[in-house]
Amino acid sequence: MDLKALKDSIREVAFAHGFELCHVTRPGFPDKHRSGLDAWLDSGMQGDMDYMSEPVRRERRKTPASLLPEVKSVITVALRHSPPAYSLEETTQHREQGVIAAYACGDDYHEVMKKRLKRLAAELDRLLGPHEQRVFVDTAPVLEHALAEQAGLGWQGKHSLTIHRELGSWLMLGEIFTTADIEPDEPAAFHCGSCTACIDICPTRAIVAPLVVDARRCISYLTIEYRGFIPRELRPLMGNRIFGCDDCQAVCPWNRRAVAPEPDLLAPRGENLLPGLVRLLALDEAGFRERFRKSPVKRTGRAGLLRNVVIAMGNSGHVPFIEPLQAALADAEPLVRGHAAWALSRLAGHGSRMEILAALQQALDAEADSAVTEELRIALEQTRKTT
């Protein structure tokens, strides 16, 4: 089998397993990605993801060949998911509901892709002969967008995500590192031009420069990866986003023609499309685990998700939220109690000021957690100033 026929066969197998794109590169990329990673980490833009700055992990990200002895090729694949089921304007019209990023409205892509990548890797033994290989889906120190660009799968856009000319950026990436020698594809060219739509739309101004996202300000990081109390100055900017954020992709011109894939292996579940905030806040631990059993949302844990939910309630201006937020002041999780106090102070100007003051004071008198105590004190102060 000649080299072109071999690669065509690999792509056919990849397509048969549900991947819409399949490209190949050597285990490396230009120095701009290494220097960019160093500058990003040295600036502390990884936030609390300290593992990324560990010397061994940092060097592995910069040196893909270190992930598999004698690796010769990296097969990069993409699985497409449905675009958001609603426009940015529509999300602001439903402030009693939460917004979950489009990729997370169905099954967990890690599980879906990992199974399919392993099956693909097994079939490659038939095409390439026995060889060593490792599969990755966002679970290892891999600069996946840099590798995808080098493989010609798509270029890294100014929002830092991979963009394909025909399919846009609603893509999840995976890689197979292999010791098989496969002819590489040509790198992708950059096609963002002078467009800054993604930078301009970011609610928290997290895209501080083209291809540079400060995780400490990014709603996706704050609502998913971050485990602490979200900075107060960023909470109002989160709106009703409770898991991730699609704004930078939603305005990208390359996504104008994006449609749902067929079949859609990450098909959104109806209950995850603008879910009601009150019902989510009512979830206990068992209810949370059942509700998000096969969903990426389980990554936040109940405390993280309900923290995001009460922030969305505080941003809603919706007076009926006052009662469930008062109940949340007694939640078992400090994260929920503290952010519920903030949310109530935000709603005090919409009515029930005295009721909110009484609830906050009662919670403060009973509170033992120092971080929550601080939130309650500030919330009381803000509520007293409300007219």
Active site positions, annotated: 138
Angle (CA) 268 273 279, round 5°: 125
The length of the chain in residues reads 387
Contact predicate 153/162, CB 8 Å: yes
- CA–CA separation, 271 vs 118, rounded Å? 30
Q: Count of alpha carbons within 13 Å of 57, Cβ hemisphere only?
A: 10
**Number of other CB atoms surrounding residue 194 within 10 Å:** 4
The conformation of residue 298, written as its DSSP 8-state character, comes to G
The distance in angstroms from the start CA to the end CA of the chain is 78
Contact predicate 301/243, CB 8 Å: no
Q: Which of 319, 260, 278, 315 is nearest to 91 (CA)?
A: 315
Contacts within 8 Å (CB) and 24+ apart, 45-52? 45/208, 45/212, 45/213, 45/214, 45/215, 45/216, 46/215, 47/215, 47/216, 47/221, 47/225, 47/226, 48/225, 48/226, 48/227, 48/228, 49/215, 49/221, 49/225, 52/141
- CA–CA separation, 351 vs 386, rounded Å? 10
- CA–CA separation, 218 vs 121, rounded Å? 34
**Number of other CB atoms surrounding residue 127 within 10 Å:** 15
DSSP labels for 315-346? TTT-GGGHHHHHHHTT-S-HHHHHHHHHHHHH
Contacts of 24 (CB under 8 A, 6+ apart): 7, 10, 73, 74, 75, 76, 151, 182, 183, 184, 185
- CA–CA separation, 219 vs 213, rounded Å? 11
